[in-house]
Every structure is written in structure tokens, then in C-alpha cells.
Structure 1
Amino acid sequence: MNIAIIGTRGIPNYYGGFEQFAAYLSAAMVASGHQVTVYCAHHHPWQQSTWKGVQLVHCYDPRVLGTAGQFIYDLQCIRHARRCHYDVILQLGYTSSSVWGWLLPRRKSVVTTNMDGLEWKRSKYPALVQRFLRVAERLAVRTSDHLVADSPGIQNYLRNKYDKEAVFIPYGASVFDQPDVRVPEKYGLVPFQYHLLIARMEPENNIETILDGAGERPFLVIGDTHNKFGRRMKAKYAHQPHIRFLEGIYDQQVLNNLRYFSRLYFHGHSVGGTNPSLLEAMASQALIVAHNNIFNRAVLGENGFYFRNARDVETLIKTVSRTEEQHHIDACVARIQEQYTHARIVQQYLQHFESILAARRGVKLLSFSR
């Protein structure tokens, strides 16, 4: 198959979850004998035309324009894809691309869209933007041939809201079992004596709620703070030296080690589906405290702890002992091995692509026979 992936800033990952997902999915599909192209922003740090056998197309992304620049970037990617002959175009998300959905080359390619989370519920957006995102969601459903939901919650939402079926395929992770104590020590940390939070600096990730209950033990916050909310968080907790903001870290080995050696790992995401960072925390053998919502519960189950407010966070920090909760960690690792391995997810996507191409060929043959 000849497959294209659009909707990310590019690979290898220097940004977030979709980029991390696109990296492992594309490389694995190339290793399976398929031709894969990933669209990247022109300013992406990796400027070569290939990465691990994946073809890279760099398109103009005027990031100086902020959000408006994302719309221009998505348009450039779709315009390029129209000139190509891909069998399948996998679109990751729809926030700034669905307005151009009518330009997707659906006569030449089958377009399947991973609908991500409920973008219009993100509290960082003002009311006008939230209304636009509702429209964008509807446009994405209308201009896609097929939909992918990364959680049962999103799958049910799409069925109930739009009467349209989506195939459920989550993200994947690899079990981390080679810890290196030198990694936390490099950051001046005592293993299992610090708490950890990894997230984009956005209100719906409950960063402020978590840090308001952070207690006195060293607390690491990993995520790029160069936005309005991130700067506000740094300023608010500047008088608490035990809360350390380390900015973005994209070395997977470093992240895995910091998760592994944490006392408690906090996952505050509240509006997404199956979040890759939660799977990675489970695979890294962290003891997890997650925001209490249907998306996190669908992944973590009873294999961790949950919070709703800062008081819950404070109480869990005082009462939960990692040494007494090894059964939760073991259960998380088993869950990753059974349901969320990279190999399993890649195979599910390939089966999805093969089935939708077979369905299209069947429709064409039926039309020809008539």
C-alpha cells in the first residue's frame, strides 16, 4: 500500500502525542513493506527527505501567524497530497484541517480520520473558538470516508452524535524494563522520592489542580512553558522551589527513566481519548494518579488512583506508598502487553486500511458489473 499521514508537525517527534504516534506507525509500516509518506512543517528540525525509510514532505508552515498558520500549513499538505496517488490518507485530527476537507483527493485515495478527543471541550479555547471546533468536527465527519476512534468513549460519541461508526484503534506503547538510575541522578533527584507530571501546558490537563495539591516533596513538571498558560504556571509556583519546570523533553529513554523512578506519576488529561502519555506511563512501570474521567478509566481501569480536585491530590500524596502498590504497576504492564503493544496497534491499522481499500474495490466492481 501507498500511505500518507497528514495532520502532524512532522517526524521524528519534537512536539506531542500525534507526532510520536505517526513516528512509530509509519516506521513500522515501512518495515512491513509498505510505502509511507509523512507531511512535516518546513521548519521541522529534521530536514532530511527520509527517516527510517519513511518519505518526508516538508510544507510551508508560517508559525509566526500562530493558530492561523496551522490552517495554511494544513492547506499546503492537502494541496500536495492532491498531486499524489496515495491508496490511503490517514488524517490525524481535524482542528485546523477540516475546513479544507472538501479538497481531500477522495476519488483517488481513501481518507480515514483519527478524530482524537473532544477538541471543543478544551477550556483553553474561548466560546467562539469552541463553536468553530464543533463545526470543524462535523466537517471532518462529513469529508472523511472512514473514522478512527482511539477510545470507546469517542466511538460511542460519534455513533450517538453523527450516527456514524468509527473503528476503535487505540495507541501503543513498549514496556520499559531497563532502568538507568543515572538519569534521575543527573537531575539531582533521589529515585522514588519525587513526583512527576508530563503534559502540554493547557488548562484541561489539570496542571494547576495537581500542583495546588503537590505537597513538599520534589515535584517535576515536564512540558514546554512558552505559552500564556505555561508562563502563568511558572510564575504562580516560583516561590515553591520543590516544584521544578524542566520544559519539554523528547528523548524517550530519559522520559521512561524519569517515569520509572518517580514516586507518583500524575496524569491530568481530561478531554482526550486514549492518551499516549498515559500508556507510556503504564509501560514505564510508574504508579499512576489520573484525573477521574471516562477516558482515563477506560485505559487505566482499577490499576491506579484518581483525583478530582487539589484536595484529592494532597490526600493521595500523603497516603499512597509506592512500595505497597506493586500489584497496580504489574497489572498496568500486563495490560500494555495484552492490549496496547505497538505491534498490535500497527497491525490493526494495516487491517483497517486493507479492509477499506477492499470495500472500495468492491464498490467499483459492483458499479462496473451494472
Structure 2
Amino acid sequence: MRVAMIGQKGLPAAYGGVERHVEELSTRLAKRGIEVTVYNRRWFSDYQKKTFQGIRVVTTPTLHTKHFDTITHTLTSTIHALITHHDIIHFHGVGPSLLSWIPRIFSPHTVVITTFHCIDRKHKKWGGFARIMLRLGEWSTCRFAHKIIAVSKTIAAYALAVYDCTAIYIPNGINPVKPITNSEQIIQNQFGLTHNNYVAVVTRLIPHKGIHHLITAFTGLNTKKKLVIVGGGHFTDLYVKRLHELTHGDKRIIFTGFQSGAALHALYEHAALVVQPSELEGLSISLLEAMNYGRPLLASDIDENREALSDYGWYFKSGNSADLARQLKKLLATPRITLERRAKIGQVYVNNLFNWDTITSDTLHLYEKLVAVKPGKKRRAVAAAFRLAK
């Protein structure tokens, strides 16, 4: 079976939820004998090899701008995938799925799947025209994909309510934590931190992630703990500048930039508290990872966070800096043993429910089921596509 993954920025996944999802899924599929092609954007990674952990890596052209990067890369990748004959084209995200009609018309025997990762049109970084296109991408996802995967039950319910479209729930996942040596020395040497002396947030620095609310809340707290912001911007330079201005020179606030590997592991492991202040999510991998490390977790009360965190963390009102400050003050004054007890139960919970091996098995079962029933002849596919477009 040959599968093409389209929509992600590329491999290796230095950052990004979709990129992490595609890497974790693709590497496991490759180990199970599936021929997987992942399409890269040249600017995303310096990786030059044509294979990555058994995956074929193909770099196709793109216009590296905020509004045209994804759609142009999707177009060139889709054309390449059709020319090289794949059994399945798997789009990741509703933006890339805007072009899911192309294989339906020009390669009717190819199975088309889209994973609905997030309601992207609600992201604050997009203007009016981009939001219209992303809304059209949602419609295309629900009209042209043979099957739709939703990474959260909230997204599945949205697709059903808005588009009368049934999506299969297959979530994001995590890997069991493997201990590393000298992790406390890593955070001390690289960032001047010690065990339990900081609050951490791990995210991209884009408006809907709510970092401005966290900075506003933290600067008003009387605490010796530090706030460590792990991540960087993406076409959001003005927002990142605004975040730095919001600190008003507070020396307790540290921006580390993007981190991965041992450094990211250590930052999670030694945090006194992890905060997830996002106003919009699909199913946050950074939230799942914080639970996986057994860290006490404070999250915004959006449905997607409640779905993942359940009763194993604490919440504040989304978008409300004052409530976030109240909850931070309360948790930082709570005995460690109380926080750790709930977090450790959450660690067991997340490993049972959000396991990448199970997720891979569920996805592979879907692939096999769809490939076993090949789509119809070209004339029927063309007629169906135009009928659905009416």
C-alpha cells in the first residue's frame, strides 16, 4: 500500500502539532510495511536525505508567504503524488483539503482522506479572505474526502452539526516518557533554571494560543518563580514583539525559542506547573505531553482542553487574564503533594487513551478498509464531484 501525506510543513518535526502527528503516524506505518511519502517544504527543514526512518521524503516547490505557502505546496505535492501513483492521498488540515477535489476527479481510483486537525478559520492571525478560504476548505473536506478523521470529539461534533458530515474520531497521541540523564543540569546550563522554580508554556507564539493573557496574568503575581515561554512565532513577528513588550522588562520571564529533544524533555520534567492558555485547539499535543510528564496542568476551559485533560488538571476561563492570575496564585500556593497526586493519575490516564501505537492501528485499519473497496470509475467520480459541488 502506498500512502502520500500532504499538508504538513515537513520532517523531521522540529515543531508544530500537525508535523508531530504526521511524523509519529508515518514512522509507525513504515515499520508495518506501508510505503509512506511525506512532502516537505524546503524552508522548514535543512534535512536533505530522501528517506527518514523508512519514510520517503519529497520536497516540492512552494511560495513561502503567509497566505500562499500551504496552498501552493499542497498543489505541487498533490500533482507529484498523482504522477507517482499512490493508493491513498491523506491530507492533513482543512486548508490543504481545499484541493482534495483534484485527486477525486483526475485519479478516481485513489482513496482521499482528510484529517480535520483544527477549526483553522477561527485563528486570529487570518484576515477575512483567508477565513473564507478556510471555510471553503472545511466544505471541501466534508464533500470530497472518502473519509474524514477528526482528532477530537469536539471537531467531529462540529463537522456533523455544520456540514452533516460524519467523521471518524482518531486523536493525537503521546509516547511514554523515557528518562534522560542530567536533565536538571540541562535546564540550569541552558536557561538558568532549577527544579520546580518555574511555570512553563510550550506553544507557537501566535495570537489564538493566548500567551498574551498568560504574560498579563503572571506579571501581576508576587512570586519568585519564573515564567518560561517555549516556542517561536510563525509569520507573527508583530505579535512576538507585542509579547516582549507586555513583559515590561520583567526578568522572571524567559523566552527560550523553539526547543526539542533533551532540552524540551528537561523543561517539561522540571516545571512546577505547565499552563495551556489557548483560545482555540484541535487536540493539543503540548497539553497531552505535559500530562505525559506528570506535570500539574492549568488550561483554558475550551471544550478541546476539557476533552483531553478531563478531571486531571485545573482550568481558568478562556481569554480571561484576571481569572488566569487567580488560578495561578492559588495553584502556586497549593502544597506540591496535592498537585502531584492529581497529575500522576492524569499521567496514567493519558498513556492509556492517547497512545500512538493504537492510533496507528486505527488509522491502518481505516486505510485497509477503504483500499479494499476501490472508488468507482472516472466518469462516476467526475459526476459525483460536480453533483456535490452544486
Instruction: Report the TM range for the smaller structure's normalisation.
Output: over 0.9
Given that 1:267 and 1:288 are in contact with CA atoms closer than 8 Å, whether structure 2 keeps it comes out as: yes
TM-score scaled by structure 1?
Answer: 0.92
- How many angstroms does 1:252 deviate by? 3.0
Distance 2:29 2:211 in 1: 35
- Kept in 1, the 8 Å contact 2:198–2:271? The answer is yes
Aligned partner of 1:22 in structure 2 is 22
Going from structure 1 to structure 2, the CA distance change for 1:330 and 1:157 (only over 3 Å counts) comes to: same
Residue 194 of structure 1 contacts residue 264 of structure 1 at CA under 8 Å; is this kept in 2? yes
3-state SS, counterpart of residue 4 of structure 2: strand
Q: Distance in 2 between matches of 1:59 and 1:261?
A: 40
SS in 1 for 2:283: coil
Q: Quick one: percent identity of the two aligned structures? A: 24
Name the CA distance, whole Å, in 2 between partners of 1:38 and 1:262: 34
Q: What is the distance in 2 between the residues matched to 1:113 and 1:336?
A: 25
Q: Paired residue for 1:257?
A: 266
Q: Are the aligned partners of 2:160 and 2:167 in contact in 1 as well (CA < 8 Å)?
A: yes
Quote the offset at 1:177 in angstroms: 4.9
CA distance in 2, matches of 1:318, 1:269: 19
Match of 2:184? 181
Q: Secondary structure at the match of 1:338?
A: helix
Contact 1:3 1:90 in 2 (8 A): yes
8 A Cα contact 2:184 2:194, kept in partner: no
Which letter maps to 2:5? Answer: I
Q: Which of residues 195, 202, 227 is equivalent to 2:199?
A: 195
The whole-number CA distance in structure 2 between the counterparts of 1:252 and 1:359 is 41
Please tell me whether residue 311 in structure 1 is matched to residue 322 in structure 2: yes
Counterpart of 1:62 in structure 2: which amino acid?
L
Partner of 1:135: 136
8 A contact 2:27–2:55 mirrored in 1: yes
* 1:106–1:230 Cα change, 3 Å: farther
Decide which of 299, 315, 318 is 2:308's aligned counterpart: 299
Where does the alignment leave 5 or more consecutive residues of structure 1 unmatched? none
Q: Report the Cα distance in structure 2 between the residues aligned to 1:53 and 1:6, rounded to whole angstroms.
A: 17
Q: Secondary structure at the match of 1:170?
A: coil
Aligned partners of 1:116 and 1:150 also within 8 Å:
yes
1:223 aligns with 2:240: no
Instruction: Give the aligned residue type for 1:203.
Output: P
Match of 2:117 in 1: 116
Q: Equivalents in 2 of 1:99, 1:257: separation in Å?
A: 39
Paired AA for residue 152 in structure 2: S
SS of 2:257's equivalent? coil
Query: Whole-Å Cα distance in 2 between the matches of residues 77 and 172 of structure 1?
Result: 26
Aligned length: 361
Measure the CA separation in 2 of the matches of 1:106 and 1:323: 58
Secondary structure at the residue paired with 2:373?
helix
> Is 1:344 equivalent to 2:340 in the alignment?
no
1:273 to 276, 282, 290: 282
1:22 offset after TM fit, Å? 1.1
Amino acid aligned to 2:100: G
- Please state whether the residue corresponding to 1:200 is helix, strand or coil: coil
Contact residue 175 and residue 336 of structure 1 kept, 8 A: no
**Partner Cα separation in structure 1 for residue 132 and residue 71 of structure 2:** 17
Q: Deviations over 1:131-180 (max 9, x none)?
A: 33212211222221110000111111111111111110001101225152
Name which of 233, 237, 247 aligns with 2:247.
237
Query: Is 2:101 aligned against 1:102?
Result: yes
Q: Counterpart in 2 of 1:38? A: 38
Match of 2:166 in 1: 165
The aligned amino acid for 2:131 is Q
2:387 corresponds in structure 1 to: none
Residues 206-243 of structure 1 show CA distances to partners (whole Å, capped at 9, x for unaligned) of: 11111111134210101114622112111221411111
1:56 aligns with 2:70: no
Q: 2: CA distance between counterparts of 1:23 and 1:273? A: 17
Alpha-carbon distance in structure 2 between the residues aligned to 1:61 and 1:269:
29
Please give the alpha-carbon distance, in whole angstroms, between the structure 1 residues aligned to 2:173 and 2:24.
Answer: 9
Q: CA deviation at 1:106?
A: 4.6
Kindly tell me: are residues 156 and 66 of structure 1, through their superposed partners in 2, closer, same or farther at Cα, counting changes over 3 Å?
closer
Is the 2:91–2:97 contact (alpha carbons within 8 Å) kept by the matching residues of 1?
no
Aligned position for 1:8? 8
Task: Give the partner amino acid of 2:18.
Answer: F
Rounded to whole Å, the distance in 2 between the matches of 1:221 and 1:42 is: 27
Q: Which residue of 1 aligns with 2:385?
A: none
Match of 1:56, SS state, is strand
The answer to whether the 8 Å contact 1:201/1:227 transfers is no
Matched residue of 1:4: which SS? strand
Verify: 1:323 aligned to 2:333, yes or no.
Answer: no
- Kept after mapping to 2: 8 A contact 1:86/1:108: no
C-alpha deviation, 1:71, in angstroms: 1.9
Paired AA for residue 192 in structure 1: N
State the AA in 1 paired with 2:324.
V
